[in-house]
């Protein structure tokens, strides 16, 4: 009785390894952008919950938010002041940050990732 071997061939293993390598390389390129976005979200939540946040002007909120970005390792080239908008309605308002990040992948192939986050201003009076 002849025994027949089963399993993956060397070429099959190399193909699987190449596909896994492409996914790993893609993750290494994209994960830092999402970690940076989580820093933006954390900074926005901090600024929105500060006392007197609803009474601040758009420029004051931008200044506070850009200051908080430095603690979260958010690059100043990533989120620019014009990407930060304040929509005031009645006693409250909404702070919105919208930006794009272009990530080089290989040769002339880039990833363009679009991020948008809105947070309601909660900080009441001083």
User: Tens-digit pLDDT profile for the chain (126 aa)?
Assistant: 677 878 889 999 999 999 999 999 999 999 999 999 999 999 999 999 988 888 888 899 899 999 999 999 898 888 999 999 999 877 778 999 999 999 999 999 999 999 999 999 886 655
* Residue 115 located in a structural domain: yes
pTM metric for this prediction: 0.83
* Residue 3 located in a structural domain: no
* Residue 1 located in a structural domain: no
* Residue 24 located in a structural domain: yes
For position 17, what pLDDT does the model report?
97
For position 125, what pLDDT does the model report?
59
Total domains present in the chain: 1
Strand 84-89 vs strand 92-106: parallel, antiparallel, or unpaired? Answer: antiparallel
For position 10, what pLDDT does the model report?
92
Distance CA 75, CA 40 (A): 10
Could you tell me which residues come within 8 angstroms of residue 116 by beta carbon, excluding any fewer than 6 positions away?
96, 97, 98
- Measured N-to-C along each axis, helices 10-49 and 58-71 cross at an angle, to the nearest 10 degrees, of 130
* Residue 5 located in a structural domain: no
For position 5, what pLDDT does the model report?
76
For position 99, what pLDDT does the model report?
96
78 phi/psi in degrees, rounded to 5: -80, -55
* Residue 88 located in a structural domain: yes
Choose among 27, 17, 5: nearest CA to 103.
Answer: 27
* Residue 2 located in a structural domain: no
Q: Report the Cα 78 to chain-centroid distance in Å.
A: 10
Q: Which domain holds residue 67?
A: 10-120
Distance CA 87, CA 94 (A): 5
Contacts 24+ apart (CB under 8 A), 114-117: 115/37, 115/40, 117/37, 117/40, 117/41, 117/44
């Amino acid at each position: 009785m002849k025994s027949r071997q089963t399993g993956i061939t060397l070429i099959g293993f190399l193909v699987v390894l190449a596909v896994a390598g492409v996914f790993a390389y893609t993750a290494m390129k994209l994960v830092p952008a999402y970690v940076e976005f989580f820093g933006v979200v954390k900074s926005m939540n901090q600024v929105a919950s500060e006392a007197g946040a609803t009474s601040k002007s758009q420029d004051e909120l931008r200044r506070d938010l850009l200051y908080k970005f430095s603690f979260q390792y958010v690059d100043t080239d990533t989120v620019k002041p014009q990407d930060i908008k304040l929509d005031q309605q009645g006693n409250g308002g909404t702070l919105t940050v919208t930006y794009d990040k272009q990530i080089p992948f290989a040769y002339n192939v880039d990833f363009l990732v679009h991020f948008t986050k809105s947070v309601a201003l909660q900080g009441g009076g001083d």
